[in-house]
A and B are shown apart, each in its own frame.
Chain A
């Protein structure tokens, strides 16, 4: 069932001035409940503008955004409720931290929702656990933490609102590989527990290839393709053509194919490459045993 839908969504910046620019151009798409969606696109492709429409931070110039089948702008006063249902984590979210303790910062969102103390406490501790923040950190000042920990506090602050749809804009930007893997692992843990829809924006395919169900590729304000992960990667060459980086292992397979070794599929993770190679070896052994 579609939880989030856009119909001919268009957004124009600085309308009526010489700087007018259409950042999102007639985008129609639909996202199902419980899915993990990877959103890709280079700088200026309109992906950041698009996701800010999903929780009503931007109002479409024309077109509609539907949440659970209802136009989110139907009642302007209720737009705040939409923000609790569609949680948006911005890029470098650690710069939004302001409270005195980690606990209170994570509790900011739930408190704004008007929940009672017990429920706030449950949510904060549960999301802190999902995101891998030990309980003894809860009473520390968030400004004492390491960069990676701060990032996780900020992400937990949005997760604690338990939004039906969680959108993360470049959650791993500027982190070292270990910190990156940790964050992605914790996001997966959150998904396993809540089964909520997740959108991850990234320009590293490596990040999202491993666990996105579907991938949305944006180019110049329009949808370039929106399909199952393996199908998107079967168009790896086109994607490289619009200036996006494909995973290293995919590059190796593209080059092998060019030199005449077709494995009959695109490899987008190392595991999937292993499968393809093993299958090829088995086939060969079966047809011509040595």
Chain B
């Protein structure tokens, strides 16, 4: 039941985008977001869309997966579009019925917003689809490392993220088992009134927390046994190395940003 939830939506592959340095990928994604939000004309948005679809094609991730990342946002998109349609009063009136007026501007703004947000979600999904969560936290750690000078615990933060990601599937499996066990004792988890369900939740959360703390304790001991003492002096198995292709990808993206600013 819970196993169907996919978190950490990494889609393994060997494409050029998969092989890019994750640090560059994060920076490129940030530039991409700026690109989508600086341009205010339809042409700018078309440039953004062109960039997105080229990147999707290069990533080798099926288009279906991107649809899956946009789909949960659909209700939100539709509601905001409708509100925009109703409330924008400027521009030529296209259609009116009693108090409701739909104007050209309203239509433009709604369409613009839907396209922009869909592109945003699809584009940023490329990052998570082509980069494994562990590599991603590695890259974040490296990108944030200048903050170490300000005594910001960068390594600890990255380690916490890695551990959290690592234990998500384990905890899901555990939750599944506990739910089955309590159901076997007659707990009403997917049936019954709201109150009985809330009560049953206690019978799941308490064992789950107990086991999470136990695991944390065991993991801490295991890490100490292997002489883990924080990030200082720690070397990595996988070194992040930038290649010419990373710089090319960066320049290519900046080129698109420049085009968007040009046509603004």
User: Does the CB pair B188–A90 fall under 8 Å?
Assistant: no
Does A172 touch B at the CB level, under 8 Å? no
B174 nearest in chain A by CB position:
A95
Does B211 touch A at the CB level, under 8 Å? yes
User: Does the CB pair A108–B178 fall under 8 Å?
Assistant: no
The proximity string for B residues 171-194 relative to A, scoring 1 for CB distances below 8 Å and 0 otherwise, is 000100110111111111001000
User: Does the CB pair A83–B182 fall under 8 Å?
Assistant: no
Contact partner, A158, options B185, B202, B203, Cβ 8 Å: B185
User: Does the CB pair B178–A95 fall under 8 Å?
Assistant: yes
Does A55 touch B at the CB level, under 8 Å? yes
Contact partners of B207 in chain A: CB under 8 A: 95-98
User: Does the CB pair B203–A98 fall under 8 Å?
Assistant: yes
The proximity string for A residues 94-115 relative to B, scoring 1 for CB distances below 8 Å and 0 otherwise, is 0111100000000011001100
User: Does the CB pair B182–A161 fall under 8 Å?
Assistant: no
A157 to B184, CA, bound (A): 10
Contact partners of A158 in chain B: CB under 8 A: 184-185
B200 nearest in chain A by CB position:
A112
User: Does the CB pair B188–A87 fall under 8 Å?
Assistant: no
A252 to B185, CA, bound (A): 42
| Minimum Cβ distance to chain B for residue A279 (Å) | 45
Does B210 touch A at the CB level, under 8 Å? yes
Contacting residues of chain A (72-104) with chain B, CB-CB under 8 angstroms: 77, 80, 83-84, 87-90, 93, 95-98
Contacting residues of chain B (107-136) with chain A, CB-CB under 8 angstroms: none
Contacting residues of chain A (34-83) with chain B, CB-CB under 8 angstroms: 52, 55, 57, 77, 80, 83
User: Does the CB pair A57–B206 fall under 8 Å?
Assistant: no
User: Does the CB pair B186–A80 fall under 8 Å?
Assistant: yes
The proximity string for A residues 106-130 relative to B, scoring 1 for CB distances below 8 Å and 0 otherwise, is 0011001100000000000000000
| Minimum Cβ distance to chain B for residue A94 (Å) | 9
A97 nearest in chain B by CB position:
B207
The proximity string for B residues 142-182 relative to A, scoring 1 for CB distances below 8 Å and 0 otherwise, is 00000000000000000000000000000000100110111
Given that A57-B180, A80-B191 are contacting pairs, would A98 and B186 also be in contact in the complex, using a CB cutoff of 8 Å?
Answer: no
Does A226 touch B at the CB level, under 8 Å? no
Interface size on B, residues (CB 8 A): 19
Does A143 touch B at the CB level, under 8 Å? yes
B186 nearest in chain A by CB position:
A112
A114 nearest in chain B by CB position:
B186
User: Does the CB pair A112–B187 fall under 8 Å?
Assistant: yes
User: Does the CB pair B181–A93 fall under 8 Å?
Assistant: yes
Contact partners of B186 in chain A: CB under 8 A: 80, 83-84, 108-109, 112-113, 161
Contact partners of A98 in chain B: CB under 8 A: 202-203, 206-207, 210
Contact partner, B184, options A77, A87, A95, A97, Cβ 8 Å: A87
State the main secondary structure of chain B at its contact with A: helix
A87 to B186, CA, bound (A): 10
The proximity string for B residues 188-219 relative to A, scoring 1 for CB distances below 8 Å and 0 otherwise, is 10010000000000110011001100000000
A86 nearest in chain B by CB position:
B184
The listed residue with most A CB atoms (<10 A of its CB), out of B186, B187, B211, is B186
A236 to B207, CA, bound (A): 40
User: Does the CB pair A96–B181 fall under 8 Å?
Assistant: yes
Given that A97-B207, A98-B202, A143-B210 are contacting pairs, would A55 and B184 also be in contact in the complex, using a CB cutoff of 8 Å?
Answer: yes
Contact partners of B182 in chain A: CB under 8 A: 96
B203 nearest in chain A by CB position:
A98
| Minimum Cβ distance to chain A for residue B11 (Å) | 14
A145 to B210, CA, bound (A): 14
A231 to B234, CA, bound (A): 61
Contact partner, B185, options A52, A95, A109, Cβ 8 Å: A109
A95 to B203, CA, bound (A): 11
| Minimum Cβ distance to chain B for residue A222 (Å) | 24
A77 to B192, CA, bound (A): 10
| Minimum Cβ distance to chain A for residue B177 (Å) | 7
Contact partner, A88, options B178, B184, B202, B210, Cβ 8 Å: B184
A83 to B174, CA, bound (A): 21
A to B CB contacts below 8 Å, 29 in the list = A57-B180, A57-B183, A77-B191, A80-B188, A83-B183, A88-B184, A89-B184, A90-B180, A90-B181, A93-B181, A95-B174, A95-B177, A95-B178, A95-B181, A95-B210, A96-B181, A96-B207, A97-B207, A98-B202, A108-B185, A108-B187, A108-B203, A112-B185, A112-B186, A112-B187, A113-B186, A158-B184, A158-B185, A161-B185
3 closest A-B pairs by beta carbon, nearest first, are: A112-B186, A98-B206, A96-B181
What 16 additional pairs, Cβ within 8 angstroms, besides A77-B191, A96-B181? A57-B180, A80-B188, A83-B185, A83-B186, A88-B184, A90-B180, A90-B181, A90-B184, A95-B174, A96-B178, A96-B182, A96-B185, A96-B203, A96-B207, A112-B187, A157-B185
